[in-house]
Amino acid sequence: MKFAESLTAVVATATVSSAFSPKKMQEIRNRAAATNNQTGPQLLGDLATLSAESLTPTGKAIRGILLKQDAGHDIGGQTAATSNGSSKDVCGIWKPIADDMAQAMAGPDRQCNDVARAAIRLGFHDAGAWSMGTASTGGGADGSIVLARECETREENNGLQDICSRMRAWFDKYKQHDISMADLIQMGANVGTVVCPLGPRVRSFVGRKDNNQPGPENLLPGPDQSAEQLITMFADKTISPQGLVALVGSHSAARQRFVERNRTGDTLDSTPGIWDTRFYDEVVDSKTAARVFKLQSDVSLSQDPRTKDVWSSYVGAQAQESFIKDYASEYVRLSLLGVNNINDLTECTQVLPPFIASLNSVPSAAFQGNQTSRRVEPVPGGGALRNNSCDGL
């Protein structure tokens, strides 16, 4: 995969800056990975049992991402097609689908809107309802959140009803082209991410199988859970504490709607239309604007000894490149939970909208008390957690 050599991003960031140099940040992440994941990253689905010799180009590409040997993002649109046959034939229909989604998810201010936030959250909720302990009962990225009407019947999916209706409409429009709801949901999450300025172009794969039976329950995170509970839950999804902290960064574009009803619509950082690192800053900054809503689960992760250093490594504008790199890698993993035909998938990253490398932005008026604009260092390449009570996680 080839990436643009130099991209400059301009984004509003909090006055808090990271105390770590890029080299130090990488040392922290490496140390956290070694401490928290002694066995190393795990393979998923059929890749866990197939020999290297039997892997397709797609299987090899995904194996590389899961094992941290290849990037999970592409900012230059240069991702090579990887499939068993003609990627052009398989991916052709996904270009108009992605374009339809992007049109609905980008606001007039060229930032991601509430449709994008909901699509990102939907991707997390469909894929995240899986664990190693319950794998035999199904779940994961199988479309069941829409097909089995889990949007309407499970409290943890409160607020997803409108995006589920949109997904049904898109599915009805394109189903004659043999797409799956599972793929449609994950493509929507990745389109929703990249239409946010600075949001990564997460590598996107199609070919998942649908399941119209409800998946296992009680496998999604809650807004008041402790770091211990979250770390344990995500370990059972093959996601390390470091990976969890990266995924939580999707809260950069999130709003809360049901945690505190008297603050419905409050955002989790002061630039909710931009995929920046301000979220990490503002969770730990005691001077964060009052209108920024802090989830107790996020505060707990920012303070726990197992995740505190990794959290701090994402604080500050200079951490943008590391954040999007790590988020994309972890989201590829999340988007393949419960998928048992990974070797047969096709990569269609090329249909995504382009990476938006820069934006001149300041926080909206409600947040301007403690904020200044700061330049983000050049992003040479690239590389959520969704909270069940927030749009965007």
Q: Assess contact for 243 and 232: CB atoms under 8 A.
A: no
**Among 12, 92, 2, 60, which Cα is nearest to 375's?**
12
With beta carbons less than 8 A apart as the criterion, state whether 256 and 268 touch: yes
Question: Which of 7-21, 219-233, 290-304 has the least mean pLDDT?
Answer: 7-21
Q: What is the DSSP string of 121-183?
A: HHHHHHHHS--GGGGGG--SSSSHHHHT-HHHH-GGGTT-HHHHHHHHHHHHHHGGG---HHH
Residue 114 contacts residue 205 (beta carbons within 8 Å): no
48-100 residue pLDDT tens: 999 999 999 999 999 999 999 999 999 665 444 455 545 668 999 999 999 99
Higher pLDDT, 112 or 12: 112
277 is annotated as contributing to ligand binding: no
Q: With 90 as the cut, is the pLDDT of residue 377 above it? A: no
Catalytic one among 125, 201, 237, 294? 125
**Residue 198 CA: distances (Å) to CA of 12, 111, 279:** 12, 10, 13
pLDDT at 291: 87
251 is in an annotated binding site: yes
How far is it, in rounded angstroms, from Cα 181 to Cα 172?
10
Would the pLDDT of 378 be above 50? no
At 261 the pLDDT is 65
pLDDT of residue 23: 61
Examine the pLDDT at 190 and tell me if it is beyond 90. Answer: yes
379/361 Cα distance (integer angstroms):
17
What rounded mean pLDDT belongs to the chain?
Answer: 85
**126 among annotated binding-site residues:** yes
Taking domain 15-216+230-391, whether its CATH number is 1.10.443.10 is answered by no
State the average pLDDT over residues 25-41.
61
Proportion of the chain in helix, strand, coil states, percent, rounded to 5: 50, 5, 45
Indicate if 177 belongs to the active site: no
Binding site annotation covers 271?
A: yes
d(CA 90, CA 86): 7
224 among the known binding-site residues? no
Euclidean distance between CA atoms 65 and 43, whole angstroms:
10
Q: Is 83 annotated as a binding residue?
A: no
Cα dihedral value 358, 109, 374, 77, nearest 10: -20
Instruction: Delimit the domains of the chain by residue range.
Output: 15-216+230-391
pLDDT bracket for residue 29 (50, 70, 90)? low
